Chain A
Amino acid sequence: MAIEKTLSLTVNGQPRTVTTDPGRPLLEVLREDLGLTGTKYACGEGRCGACTVLLGGKAVRSCITPVADAEGKAVVTIEGLAAGDKLHPVQEAFLAEGAVQCGYCAPGMILGVVGLLNEKPNPTDAEVLSRMEGHICRCCGYPKLLRAIRRAVQAGGR
């Protein structure tokens, strides 16, 4: 049994401490300890993007990120993206294009786009496609997702 550690991190702007095995996936700490279930499990190997969160502003796969990697850093989950009732422009773009079918992949997709725009405010279409290739939508709603993502990119994430 690994030794537990007390770790401090900032989640959606709030300082949080967790006492846990430092190797535990960030995904499970968010969902099981912090009650933030908007971040989804779907593959457990970083291949589908459903568990995407922002860590220090960058999109990461929380299912393969040890919670220790988040120590002292800022984590943003889907629950922390809107400002009160005002949705983030990427969320707005998803609504505007009707890009959601079952919606299970949506939080990860949205944070994937936000993470891309944080790194590259004006990505080319090829960069968008290359980044989003890491996200799976099994409803295969890609045509409308792509419209939503392009709309968000054109708006510059603003």
Chain B
Amino acid sequence: MKGAVGSRQSGTERALSRREFVRVLGAGLLVSVGAGPALAGERRPRGGGRGGTIAARVHIGQDGAITVLTGKIEMGQGARAELTQAAAEELRVPASRITMVMGDTALVPDDGLTAGSRTTPSTVPAVRQGAAAAREALVRLACQRWGVEPGAVEARDGAITHAATKRTLTYAELAASDELPKAFDQAVPGGITLTAVKEWKVLGTSLPRPNVRDLVTGAHKFPSDLVRPGMLYGKVLRPPSYGARLGAVDLAPAKAMKDVVAVREGDFVGVAAPTSLLARRALAAIAETATWQPAPHPSSQEVFDYLRQRAGGGVPANPFADEVAKAAKALRATYRVPYVQHAPMETRVALAEWADGKLTVWTGTQNPFGYHRELAGAFGLGNDQVRVIVPDFGCGFGGKHTGEAAIEAARLARAAGKPVKLHWTREEEFTWAYFRPAAVIDIEASLDAKGALTSWHFININSGGAAVDTPYRAGKANCRFVRSDTPLRQGSYRTLAATANNFARECFMDELAAAAGADPLDFRLAHLDNPRLRAVLEEAAKRFRWRERVKEKRPDAGIGLACGTEKGSVVAACAEIALDRAKGTIAVRQVTEVFECGAILNPDNLLSQVQGCIVMGLGPALREEMRFEKGEMLNPRFRQYLVPRFSDVPELDIHLLDRPDLPSAGGGETPIIAIAPAIGNAVFHATGQRIRAMPIRLAESGGS
């Protein structure tokens, strides 16, 4: 049955006509200047507001409604609140006056991917510059009307006030003039002075996510919740194993079903039907007829050798062999980190609709303009024939940069002549989405007779160059990332390879400290110049009472610490673990983490991000790994792939070190990089077992 209720729409879900856009933005006359050309596809501002007009970033309606436009998206990381704060601060209005329009490629400037912790250092300043330019334009207009100097007026609470004459013009009144559209059609000038940190009224406060109420009432429409008139539900035929090629397939059994559309385009085979159930049945009927040519594929057991053998140009040798030869002590080790999955709560989803040769896709992606280009390329469409709309969606973690679900949905919608929504199953997400890359990391280091590092050789095979360089003074250092030939799709994941690289480096530092007869904290501090990193490490050790606790020896318990820097921020963590030797399990009892990312923009949101990073990081540290054999995933379900749950949460002591004197850096990634090595070092402390692999396992249970 297909209920009529399912086709109801709210205004913002539909593709907005220009008239509707004006309505959404609150009768703003500026819209006709700023967004008009973008809507018509004649001109789309690019580059995060640089070179863009004020109107490309800010609209003020005659009713005083303020709309701010950004190409960033919201997936739970807090960009909506932070960017709202940025605009409100510079426009001198309460945050409640701002409506953010995010991730709609027909309306917003291209602010790049929402990734790499770039919203805070790049887009917050871009939005602030646009908003400050808008405020200055409003000031100039008011001053022209009154014949006074800009220095004599003040922008405050949505109005310009001339104190000497007690005259006031609200933004709404100024928006009603003919001059404002012209003023807002100017490029955002360079060198605008932004509000100093000590003057902040909105930034630096804990503004909750503006649409949070809709999230607890179920009113918010995630991409997977959207419905279009006449919409069908899609399903795609997947190969039985990685690399398998489709031979024959018979679409007839699906086509024989009432209201079912089936399509084959090359290797792409899919169906669409009025319900998910019917689509599943139609796909099952087709799948029974399909023949496949399997391809060889390494297993997850073999994959580390596989990656090493295929390292581009071979695995580089240690150029410091002479240092190693004359060293008082030298150590070498190899670390392994398996493929893991982001496992976002909301799996990949796209709703595609064709109308008049134009394609509109609603989807959850961190990369709206990348999707836009990908779709234009896939279907031979012009830039103005594609529109990607990204409602706030359910998790990304770096896992939603590629447009495959959107392309699949668009193919089905084109064949069906109707809108099609394709929502990947959990098993599809665990199999056909991309993964955090597996890593093989070789390290060799030498120590002199005083226990000081004299050389450091660090090679990451396959997983990436993020945080590959050591923050420690190591005499001579050679740190490199070497590509390999990954047998699985791989891509970004919260802080990229920094987790793998920091895990290997920080565990190895503990081995070196032991070789040098030094305490892990002292050994690090003796080699650490970076004052910010020293500060968080010392603060974490102090709060954890490291120096007292490291002397205590308790059976089946241990403590460890680790630190690191990436993406302009610094982190240190101390962890206490307890072992259950009978079960072979490790429980993380307590984590103290100190994080510093410059001037804090939103303390509550930053705390959520740090808490989330620590707990998410426990998964790959202790349990998570994709297991595969003969091209098939062996654990593509939540009952087999065990992500962190409530019972995993340790006692947390998190300290956010505010540095108003430093530029703000993003905080949603780096806090994850210290947790796995802190646990690994705690296991080393408890057992003497050297930890060389994630997930961390006790030797008795057959681990590293």
**B-binding residues in A (CB < 8 A):** 1, 4, 18-21, 24, 28, 31-45, 47-48, 50, 77-79, 81-82, 87, 91, 94-95, 98, 100-107, 110, 129, 132-133, 135-146
Contacts and interface: CB of A to CB of B under 8 A. Distances in A.
Contact of A138 (B5, B77, B345): B345
A95 B210 CA distance: 11
Nearest to B258: A1
Interface in B261-276: 275-276
Interface stretch (B182-190, B237-245, B609-617, B684-692): B609-617
Contacts of B206: 98
Contact of B646 (A37, A79, A110, A132): A132
A138 B652 contact: no
Contacts of A105: 345, 394
A103 B1 contact: no
A136 B395 contact: no
B579 interface: no
A43 B611 CA distance: 24
A96 to B, nearest CB: 10
B209 interface: yes
B2 interface: yes
A interface majority secondary structure: loop
> Which of A18, A77, A103, A146 has the most chain B CB within a 10 Å cutoff?
A103
B53 to A, nearest CB: 32
Contacts of B427: 44
B344 interface: yes
A141 B612 CA distance: 5
Given A140-B611, A143-B652, A144-B611, A28 B277 contact: yes
Contact of A136 (B75, B608, B643): B643
B655 interface: no
Contacts of B392: 102-103
Contacts of B78: 101
Interface stretch (B221-229, B311-319, B371-379, B469-477): B221-229
Given A79-B218, A104-B394, A138-B643, A28 B212 contact: no
Interface of B: 1-3, 5-6, 8, 75-78, 206, 208-209, 212-213, 215-222, 224-225, 227, 233, 257, 275-277, 281, 342-347, 392-395, 397, 423, 425-427, 604, 608, 611-616, 637-639, 643-649, 652
B216 A95 contact: yes
Given A28-B275, A103-B76, A137-B345, A18 B395 contact: no
B666 to A, nearest CB: 15
Given A102-B395, A138-B343, A43 B637 contact: yes
Given A142-B644, A144-B611, A101 B275 contact: no
A40 B608 CA distance: 22
Q: Interface of chain B, helix or strand or loop or mixed? A: loop
Contacts of B423: 41
A35 B5 contact: yes
A33 B2 contact: yes
B573 to A, nearest CB: 15
Contacts of B346: 40, 42, 102, 104
Contact of A95 (B212, B342, B345, B647): B212
B305 to A, nearest CB: 31
Given A42-B345, A101-B608, A20 B1 contact: yes
A124 B688 CA distance: 39
A78 B218 contact: yes
Contact of B345 (A39, A91, A102, A146): A102
B217 A38 contact: yes
B217 A100 contact: no
Contact of B277 (A21, A81, A135): A21
Contacts of A45: 426, 637-639
B5 A142 contact: no
B218 A39 contact: yes
Q: In the A-B complex, list the 7 residue pairs whose CB atoms are closest, starting with the nearest.
A: A38-B218, A102-B76, A104-B394, A103-B215, A78-B218, A37-B225, A140-B615
B218 A24 contact: no
Contacts of A50: 345
A11 to B, nearest CB: 11
A35 B644 contact: no
B646 A129 contact: yes
A35 B217 contact: no
A25 B266 CA distance: 33
A154 B426 CA distance: 35
A91 B233 CA distance: 31
Contacts of A87: 213, 216-217
A136 B645 CA distance: 6
A35 B394 contact: no
Contacts of A32: 2-3, 6, 233, 275-276
Contacts of B257: 1
A98 B208 contact: yes
A136 B345 contact: yes
Nearest to B618: A140
A59 B206 CA distance: 33
Nearest to A107: B218
A104 B221 CA distance: 10
Contact of B216 (A106, A135, A141): A106
Contacts of B615: 140, 142-143
Contacts of A91: 216-217
29 contacts: A1-B281, A19-B1, A21-B277, A28-B277, A32-B233, A33-B1, A33-B3, A34-B6, A35-B3, A38-B219, A38-B225, A40-B222, A41-B423, A42-B346, A42-B426, A43-B426, A45-B639, A95-B216, A100-B212, A101-B612, A102-B346, A103-B220, A103-B392, A104-B222, A106-B215, A139-B345, A142-B646, A143-B615, A143-B652
Contacts of B208: 95, 98
Given A24-B277, A98-B608, 14 more contacts: A18-B1, A18-B3, A32-B3, A37-B221, A42-B346, A47-B638, A102-B395, A104-B345, A133-B646, A133-B647, A138-B342, A138-B395, A139-B395, A146-B646
